[in-house]
Amino acid sequence: MPLPQPLAFLSPAKALQGNRNAVRDLWDLVSRVPGGKRIFARVLGKAAPYTGTIPFDVVSLRPGRSELTLRDRPGVRNHLDCIHAVALVNFAEVTGNIALAYGLPDDARFIVSGLSIEYLKKARGTLRGTCELPPIPSSEKREYDVPVVMQNAAGETVATAVLRTLVGPKKRP
């Protein structure tokens, strides 16, 4: 029996082939209920398993903008007792990808084709990642720069990243 459209996110393959935006559908469905934002983050971590290796939460999400937090835990620390560079890259990618994905037209998909990051200071404590980008108007094949800023609790920028992302139409079945 096929999944109802709002539940297509339970099957990543189905979500990618469908004619809806599964990320937006899931967020709109669960973000208003208690614990829903955490459920959303966990579902994304299951759909993209490497992303699930970092302890992130989604604070807010709307077209072209996301705000996430990364909890400072021993599993993301390095030998210098700060958040590992690769954990920061992973956090930048999920922050940017969620902002982009939420605002995509229903018939579009994307893939990160490049990423640059600049580490500005040691990252300690809970971090806030934000991404703001202009609306993606269509599924026409085009490359976009997706900027991400990561700040510590004092509001100091610890790292910035730019995801070079290719948007295009979903494959037809």
pLDDT at 12: 46
Q: What is the pLDDT of residues 4-35, one digit of tens each?
A: 455 544 554 454 456 789 999 999 999 999 99
Non-local CB neighbours of 159 within 8 Å, separated by 6+ positions: 88, 92, 117, 118, 119, 120, 123, 150
Q: Is the pLDDT of residue 151 over 70?
A: yes
Please provide residue 157's backbone torsions phi and psi, each rounded to the nearest 5 degrees.
-75, 120
Residue 10 contacts residue 3 (beta carbons within 8 Å): yes
Which pTM value belongs to this model? 0.88
CA distances from 157 to 14, 124, 127, 163 (A): 38, 11, 9, 17
User: pLDDT > 90: what percent of the chain?
Assistant: 82
Handedness of CA 26, 115, 129, 100 (dihedral sign): negative
Residue 96 contacts residue 56 (beta carbons within 8 Å): no
User: How does residue 156 score in pLDDT terms, banded at 50, 70 and 90?
Assistant: very high
Closest by Cα among 164, 171, 94 to 127: 94
pLDDT at 18: 64
Q: What is the mean predicted confidence (pLDDT) over 99-123? A: 96
pLDDT at 1: 37
CA distances from 70 to 11, 92, 103, 156, 171 (A): 26, 10, 22, 15, 33
Q: What is the pLDDT of residues 132-142, one digit of tens each?
A: 999 999 999 99
Residue 131 contacts residue 66 (beta carbons within 8 Å): yes
Q: What domains are there in the chain, each with its CATH number?
A: 5-169 (3.10.129.10)
d(CA 28, CA 33): 10
From the centroid of its chain, how far is CA 30? 16
d(CA 100, CA 133): 8
pLDDT at 3: 43
Q: What is the pLDDT of residues 22-74, one digit of tens each?
A: 999 999 999 999 999 999 999 999 998 888 999 999 999 999 999 999 999 99
Q: What would the two tokens of residue 99 be?
A: 């902002």
